[in-house]
Amino acid sequence: MPINVTRSSMPSFEEYCEEIKELWDTHWLTNSGAKHRELEAKLGEYLDTPNVTLFTNGHLALENVIAAHGLTGEVITTPFTFVSTTNAIVRNGLKPVFCDIDPVTYTIDAGKIEALISPKTSAIVPVHVYGNVCDDEAIERIAKEHGLRVIYDAAHAFGESYKGKNVANLGDASMFSFHATKVYNTVEGGAIACKDAGIKAKMEYMKNFGIPAQDKITYAGGNAKMSEFHAAMGICNLRHLDECIAGRKAVVERYRENLRGVNGIILCPEQNDVKSNYAYFPVVFDGAKYTRDEAAEKLAKQGIYARKYFYPLTNDCDCYGFNGNKTPVAKRVSESVLTLPLYPDLSLEDVDRICSIICGD
């Protein structure tokens, strides 16, 4: 069996079947059905925030929340992310202005944001990359001072808290991805948590073709609703989330034990004040025995598929014509980072094997 960078968490077959059984009685499969409403309420509780709305995936959630805030002009963001973040900004007709990243957490370098603000700037879209929480206090201070919105791409951060506060409460809004590859999944899916109840109300009709009520169409919306089958998967997976995070933690601890202090291998330090979800395990190769690409190749020869998340930088993507050299820290990390396999039931023996392949002869 190959070992991939991750493996979707799933409930037992019986648990899922039990959860979807009633759909055969009601024949109600989508458009804000009972499962959808139940999951939305449960997530509101879990995220400790009143305004949660579900989406068909994280990307459309991000596109819609950016649109709902009526942003204009320029948006300051990070290039060290999955391309979805940049695409969501560009597809809203906005110009992304790329800020370099912090060399330790790989999140947006808050100290470099102010120099990028222009009269056209309307928002900051930071990313809690790998689940590393951004410097929210500095970002909030800048946003307040300059009258900017803060919309977090929190695709990797579901289940995390910062200084005792769920990350869903940071900024004006946060987007969570519930893709199959995430710590918590609804197969495909996503959600927005936002401060303003009016924004949530707006997104309810934006994701339903712009229809707020029968016989009324107020917005040129698309379709980004979550189905009952996806919501049912979410209800099941939520029951096992704590267990799943505990399993990931054990794997991460073993990686840290094995790789701590190895020459040329740089690990992200654990963040003070953050309760982590152990979403990804990135390793930067900087003068190690092998380069990042050599290590990835050695692993692949053994059927182990680590990934170069996030390479290339989004400001180096062919479709855009931006310039990744303007964010040198991000460029360096992107060219030397490898995210190692991580999922709750990855055996500790396999973790040991992975470590000896990337460190050994």
Beta bridge partners, 175, equal 153, 192
87/93 Cα distance (integer angstroms): 10
Which helix (H) or strand (E) element contains residue 136?
helix 136-146
- Based on the shown chain and the rule CB under 6 A, indicate whether residue 179 belongs to the binding site for ligand T4K: yes
Q: Rank residues 35 and 59 by Cβ distance to ligand T4K and give the closer one.
A: 59
Tokens of 340: 């190692």
Q: Of 4-12, 95-103, 208-216, 228-236, which part binds ligand T4K (CB under 6 A)?
A: 4-12
Q: Do residues 319 and 96 make contact, with C-beta atoms less than 8 angstroms apart?
A: no
Among positions 300-359, residues that touch ligand T4K (CB under 6 A) are 305, 307, 309
Choice from 107, 177, 276, 336 touching ligand T4K (CB under 6 A):
177
Tell me how far, at minimum, the Cβ of 289 lies from ligand T4K, in Å. Answer: 25
Q: Of 17-25, 76-84, 165-173, 240-248, which part binds ligand T4K (CB under 6 A)?
A: 76-84
Tokens of 269: 């330090």
Tell me how far, at minimum, the Cβ of 355 lies from ligand T4K, in Å. Answer: 20
Q: Rank residues 229 and 305 by Cβ distance to ligand T4K and give the closer one.
A: 305
Choice from 99, 155, 168, 194 touching ligand T4K (CB under 6 A):
155
Choice from 190, 247, 341, 344 touching ligand T4K (CB under 6 A):
190
Q: Do residues 3 and 304 make contact, with C-beta atoms less than 8 angstroms apart?
A: yes
Q: Do residues 224 and 64 make contact, with C-beta atoms less than 8 angstroms apart?
A: yes
Order of strands, edge to edge, in the sheet holding 165-166? 165-166, 161-162, 274-275
- Based on the shown chain and the rule CB under 6 A, indicate whether residue 6 belongs to the binding site for ligand T4K: yes
Tell me how far, at minimum, the Cβ of 309 lies from ligand T4K, in Å. Answer: 6
Among positions 123-152, residues that touch ligand T4K (CB under 6 A) are 127
Q: Rank residues 292 and 307 by Cβ distance to ligand T4K and give the closer one.
A: 307
55, 108, 167 from 65: Cα distances, Å: 11, 20, 17
71, 72, 97, 150, 249 from 126: Cα distances, Å: 15, 17, 11, 8, 25
164/346 Cα distance (integer angstroms): 29
- Based on the shown chain and the rule CB under 6 A, indicate whether residue 86 belongs to the binding site for ligand T4K: no
Tell me how far, at minimum, the Cβ of 132 lies from ligand T4K, in Å. Answer: 11
Q: Rank residues 16 and 305 by Cβ distance to ligand T4K and give the closer one.
A: 305
Q: Of 2-10, 212-220, 231-239, 265-273, which part binds ligand T4K (CB under 6 A)?
A: 2-10
Question: Residue 291's CB: how many other CB atoms inside 10 A?
Answer: 16
Q: Rank residues 71 and 127 by Cβ distance to ligand T4K and give the closer one.
A: 127
Taking 3-state DSSP, the helix, strand and coil percentages for the chain, each rounded to the nearest 5, stand at: 40, 15, 45
- Name the residue with the smallest CB distance to ligand T4K: 58
Residue with tokens 């009520």: 213
Tell me how far, at minimum, the Cβ of 235 lies from ligand T4K, in Å. Answer: 18
Provide the strand spans (E) within 100-159. Answer: 121-125, 149-153
Choice from 11, 33, 58, 131 touching ligand T4K (CB under 6 A):
58
Q: Rank residues 60 and 355 by Cβ distance to ligand T4K and give the closer one.
A: 60
User: Cβ contacts of residue 81 below 8 Å, gap of 6+?
Assistant: 127, 129, 153, 310, 314
CA 79 to chain centre: 14
Q: Contact positions toward ligand T4K, by CB under 6 A?
A: 4-8, 57-59, 81-82, 84-85, 127, 153, 155-156, 177, 179-181, 190, 305, 307, 309
